[in-house]
Amino acid sequence: MLDVHLDRWLRDFGPRGHESVEADSVEHLLDALEARYPRLRFRIRDETGQIRRYVRVFVDGEDVSATTGVTTPLTGARTIDILHSVAGG
């Protein structure tokens, strides 16, 4: 089981604290979260299923958003942190 944490902004659409999820990839993890919390749909991923530009997904502390993204395997992983970054000027 993976221990999933969402940042404060994303908690308005999903679990308020941490959530335990079983998944073998980031894609399947996000599928499971969106099935449990439909309001998360399109908040983390775009319409093509890729992680949004201003969202960061950390697997055991490593940012996978811009590298392997949704295809990242979660075998042996323990914690997932999903953060919505703030942009602006």
Would 17 be classed as within a structural domain?
yes
- pTM, whole model, 2 decimals? 0.92
Q: What is the pLDDT of residues 49-64, one digit of tens each?
A: 999 999 999 999 999 9
Q: What is the pLDDT of residues 26-47, one digit of tens each?
A: 999 999 999 999 999 999 999 9
> Residue 13's domain is classified under what CATH number?
3.10.20.30
Would 35 be classed as within a structural domain?
yes
Would 89 be classed as within a structural domain?
no
Q: What is the pLDDT of residues 65-74, one digit of tens each?
A: 989 999 999 9
Residue numbers of the domain that contains 65? 2-84
Would 61 be classed as within a structural domain?
yes
Q: Using CA atoms, how far apart are residues 35 and 65, in angstroms rounded to an integer?
A: 21
Rg (CA), the chain: 12
pLDDT of residue 6: 96
Q: Using CA atoms, how far apart are residues 47 and 61, in angstroms rounded to an integer?
A: 26
Residue 75 pLDDT greater than 70, yes or no? yes
| Per-residue burial over 48-82, b = 16 or more CB atoms within 10 Å of its CB, e = otherwise | eeebeeebbbebeeeebbeeebbebebeebeebbb
pLDDT of residue 26: 98
Would 48 be classed as within a structural domain?
yes
Domain count, the chain: 1
Would 60 be classed as within a structural domain?
yes
3-state secondary structure of 33: helix
Structure-block tokens of residue 70:
């949704």
